[in-house]
Amino acid sequence: MEDHNILRKYCRFSIILIISFLILKSARAENYSVGDEDGWNSEVDYDKWSQKYNFNIGDILEFKYVKENHNVYEVTQAAYSSCETSNETVLAKYDTGDDKVNLTEVKKYWFICNVTGHCLGGMRLSVDVNQAPSEAPTSPLPQVSSSNSCRTHAFERWTLGIYPLACGVLLKF
């Protein structure tokens, strides 16, 4: 009997731990190494690279490169398109060789390497940043016609009741 109680305690703890992990994982920001293992250099197709990911507020772009050969400038759309920079078109400069850029706003970010010829050679990246799923604004519930309101209300009550029931079944192993 004592072994059964210990097993039940471990099972409960494991379920709580798994649920906590899943909740925390969904709210966690991602760290993206730009260019993956190739890093920030002129041999990577950054348009293709950026299409593989969904960027959200709180995510981090990490630019890894040889600092004597490259740099990273966050620029305006005009500078990104023309590969020409000025004080008005450069938003931030990075040159350590291991730069981390926090994506803090829902917007399109543009990055280039400002070493002569590199941007025109394709060393530029644009990313669209979305609101993180856990921070998504709530939209109003759709209006339900009066003929379906009883069924809808019953369904909502049923789904709200099934979660505690499922947890109770899992915890009574």
How many CB atoms are closer than 10 A to CB 143?
A: 5
- Asked if residue 48 has pLDDT above 50, the reply is yes
- Number of Cβ atoms within 10 Å of the Cβ of 45: 11
CA Rg value for the chain = 25
Mean pLDDT, the chain, whole residue set: 78
Nearest-5° angle of CA 168, CA 18, CA 164? 20
Summarize pLDDT for 59-93 with one digit per residue, the tens: 999 999 999 999 999 999 999 999 999 999 999 99
- Higher-pLDDT residue of 11, 70: 70
Q: Which amino acid is at 131?
A: Q
**DSSP category for residue 130:** E
Check residues 37 and 7 and name the one with the higher pLDDT: 37
Q: What is the pTM of this model?
A: 0.63
Determine which helix (DSSP H) or strand (DSSP E) holds 109, and give its type and residue range: strand 108-112
Q: What is the pLDDT of residues 97-145, one digit of tens each?
A: 999 999 999 999 999 999 999 999 999 999 999 997 754 454 444 444 4
Measured CA to CA, the distance from residue 110 to residue 32 in angstroms comes to: 15
C-alpha torsion sign, points 70, 72, 73, 79: positive
CA dist 119 and 90 (Å) reads 14
Architecture per CATH, 27-133: Sandwich (2.60)
**Among the residues of 28-148, which ranges form H helices?**
46-50, 77-82
pLDDT band for position 11 (cuts 50, 70, 90): low
